Amino acid sequence: MSTNETSSKMHPKVREAQEQMDSGRLSRREFVRYAALLGVGAGAAYAMAGLPSPAVAQDAANLPFPADDANAKAGGILKVAMQVQKIDDPATFSWTQASNQTRHMLEYLAMTGPDNVTRPMLAERWEASEDLKTWTFYLRKGVKWHNGDDFTAEDVKFNFERWTNPDLGSSNIGLSSVSAMVEDKDGKKSLIDGAIEIVDDHTIRFNLTKPVLSFPEDMYNYPTAIVHRGFKPPLDSSMNGTGAYTITENVVGDRCILKKVTEVGGQPFEYWGGTVFLDEIHYYNFDADNQLTAFAGQSVDAIYDFGVEQMELAKAIDGNIIAARTAQCLCCRMRVDAEPFTDERVRKAVTMAIDNAAIKPLVYPEGGDVGENHHVAPVHPDYQALAPLTRDVEGAKALLAEAGHPDGITLTIDVGNTDGPWHQTAAEAMRDQLKDAGITLNINVIPASKYWEIWTQTPFGATAWTHRPLGTMVMSLGYRTGVPWNESGFASPEFDAALDEAEATLDVEARKGLLAKAAQILQDASVMVMPIWRPVYCMASKSVNGYPAHPTQYHQFNKVWMS
């Protein structure tokens, strides 16, 4: 719905949410989020909440990008330090960095802004049935692919069919919305007949098996970039997108070069999203712990990330430090199908012997939140605190003895430091605590590139997870039975059912309670040690204007310009 919608068109659950807001059960910002998901234009949702519409988007024009800066200058190259990764197939991306390399070429149906509100992107608007089982997306008209083709519903259908192909192994099949379109066939999840309907060239309808509120938000999960209906991997054989830029060169471990698209087939290219100012975007490969050094040496204009241990150095450098509270974390998970973690008593001994609250100040003395050994963060709007965890060293020893390890046990955790050396710092803090319970923890530090190859297979691994706007989203991606990113091998029908019920519930307090039930199941299974939710820090030079901070570290450079 557009911002001039009438109440007769409004989803009935919007009125329910408004009543919850008026009674104090729902904050005004939470109302805006929910109303936008239900099809209310973001500008209208902010107005209904009595809040000013922020400058992160052009809500009146139904564009997800900020308005043009009157002082903006066209031209220039933005150079960013970040790990440069392989980008063969966007549907199988495992890391945010790869999606940033393609983000300004391949676009999404929706876009979640820095204000955590989801707005239409390649979609123009969406509508949901009253029971949240049928979603209709109305696509923007006039959007062109770089090969001159029109963007249509066939492109969207093609992508959903790819994501739900069990042979592809896309993590998107674990999203709540996409998982509601598949069924088990011969031990694999496959698309249900009739789940996707093309109504016309610019209208597509999705028929789900269960209610899902977060459908639009799911469509900005980074592996959901929309590729052309004729796409065949690898991507570098067909650099065809709808964005303002195209990738002209990608050298893994070295550089990724994007240039503004100015013409298609000899005709001027008119980008649907309006003016972009940068001529080029360059990514240069630097590991997490070297990016700040590159910035200090003026090799780059901005960096993807720097660690808290580098904060004093960052403060000494001339530039703008950008910080965000997030649901990013280090998930130290144990595969429940790998020895010795098949024995729940061993897993429980590990979690019982660790005090997460004592680890946090060693890793992030400023900012961040203490983890509770499940995957819903305090920053999530659907979070509800569980009973505080208590360290019990003697209890851990007793469990190990019951499991046949009266003299203790030796374990090895793989650590890739994919987001920087704080991963290793956290693992070392765990090691120091575990020895009190007779658990010897060996830390196997491997290159980040090698960890990316084994992160779902290693019996005990420290995996960095990026921020997701909802707890239900990340719980569905990582812990539903059989989904590709279920790196712990955890499987629980009770957990899946609790998650389904939470996904279908709009009432905020009820939703929090249902998700807390799922979180409690996960915590009780002792699948992981989740010691900390971390803040993220990046940096840009003062010549970079309009550089946005995003909790997921998604790069949104459409309105960035260079002084």
Per-residue pLDDT of the chain (563 residues; tens, 9 = 90+): 443 343 447 999 999 999 999 999 889 999 999 999 999 999 999 999 999 988 899 998 999 999 999 999 999 999 999 999 999 999 999 999 999 999 999 999 999 998 889 999 999 999 999 999 999 999 999 999 999 999 999 999 999 999 999 999 999 999 999 999 999 888 788 899 999 999 999 999 999 999 999 999 999 999 999 999 999 999 988 899 999 999 999 999 999 999 999 998 889 999 999 999 999 999 999 988 899 999 999 999 999 999 888 999 999 999 999 888 899 999 999 999 999 999 999 999 999 999 999 999 999 888 899 999 999 999 998 999 999 999 999 999 999 999 999 999 999 999 999 988 999 999 999 999 999 999 999 999 999 989 999 999 999 999 999 999 899 999 999 999 999 999 999 999 999 999 999 988 878 889 999 999 999 999 999 999 999 999 999 999 999 999 988 888 999 999 999 99
Domain co-membership, 288 together with 263: yes
Domain membership flag for residue 156: yes
Show the CA angle centred on residue 100, arms to residues 95 and 104, nearest 5°.
145
Show the CA angle centred on residue 63, arms to residues 247 and 222, nearest 5°.
45
Name the residue type at position 361: P
Domain membership flag for residue 172: yes
Task: Provide the Cα torsion 24, 118, 519, 515; round to 10°.
Answer: 50
CA–CA separation, 62 vs 225, rounded Å? 20
Domain co-membership, 380 together with 433: yes
Domain membership flag for residue 344: yes
Number of domains in the chain: 3
Helices and strands in the chain, H and E counts:
17, 24
547: which residues sit within 8 A by CB, 6+ positions away? 302, 320, 322, 540, 557, 560
CA–CA separation, 508 vs 155, rounded Å? 35
- Spatial contact of 477 and 174, defined as CB atoms under 8 Å apart: yes
- Spatial contact of 127 and 139, defined as CB atoms under 8 Å apart: no
Domain co-membership, 169 together with 245: yes
Domain co-membership, 495 together with 349: yes
pLDDT at 6: 38
Q: How far is CA 333 from CA 94, 340, 456, 523, in A?
A: 17, 13, 10, 11
Paired with 205 in beta bridges are 136, 197
pLDDT at 331: 98
Domain co-membership, 444 together with 351: yes
Domain co-membership, 162 together with 18: no
Q: Which helix (H) or strand (E) segment is 284 a member of? A: strand 280-284
Domain co-membership, 77 together with 163: yes
Domain co-membership, 390 together with 472: yes
Instruction: Tell me the pairing of strands 77-81 and 302-306.
Output: parallel
Q: Which helix (H) or strand (E) segment is 124 a member of? A: strand 123-128
Write down the pTM of the prediction: 0.88
Token pair listed for 272? 């649907």
pLDDT at 487: 97
CA–CA separation, 66 vs 216, rounded Å? 20
CA–CA separation, 382 vs 117, rounded Å? 15
Domain co-membership, 34 together with 95: no
Residue 141: phi and psi, rounded to 5, are -95, 150
- Spatial contact of 103 and 555, defined as CB atoms under 8 Å apart: yes
DSSP 58: B
pLDDT at 365: 87
- Spatial contact of 562 and 70, defined as CB atoms under 8 Å apart: no
Domain membership flag for residue 166: yes
- Spatial contact of 544 and 559, defined as CB atoms under 8 Å apart: no
Domain membership flag for residue 58: no
CA–CA separation, 99 vs 224, rounded Å? 10
Q: Which of 499, 490, 497 is nearest to 519 (CA)?
A: 499
Report H helices in 435-492: 448-454, 471-479
Is the preceding omega at residue 340 within 30 degrees of 0, hence cis? yes
CA–CA separation, 439 vs 207, rounded Å? 50
Q: Measured between alpha carbons, how far apart are the two ends of the chain, in Å? A: 37
Name the residue type at position 377: A
If DSSP codes are grouped into helix, strand and coil, which group holds residue 540?
A: strand
Domain co-membership, 301 together with 354: no
- Spatial contact of 3 and 62, defined as CB atoms under 8 Å apart: yes
pLDDT at 122: 99
Domain co-membership, 217 together with 354: no
Token pair listed for 102? 């393609």
Domain co-membership, 298 together with 167: yes
Domain membership flag for residue 343: yes
Q: How many residues does the chain have?
A: 563
CA–CA separation, 166 vs 150, rounded Å? 28
pLDDT at 341: 99
Residue 343 belongs to domain with CATH number:
3.10.105.10
CA–CA separation, 458 vs 445, rounded Å? 13
Domain membership flag for residue 114: yes
CA–CA separation, 118 vs 442, rounded Å? 43
CA–CA separation, 332 vs 487, rounded Å? 10
CA–CA separation, 68 vs 274, rounded Å? 9
Residue 562 belongs to domain with CATH number:
3.40.190.10
**Cα-trace Rg, the chain:** 23
Domain membership flag for residue 459: yes
Residue 132: domain span = 63-319+541-563
Within a 10 A sphere around the Cβ of 127, how many other Cβ atoms? 15
CA–CA separation, 175 vs 49, rounded Å? 29
DSSP 227: P
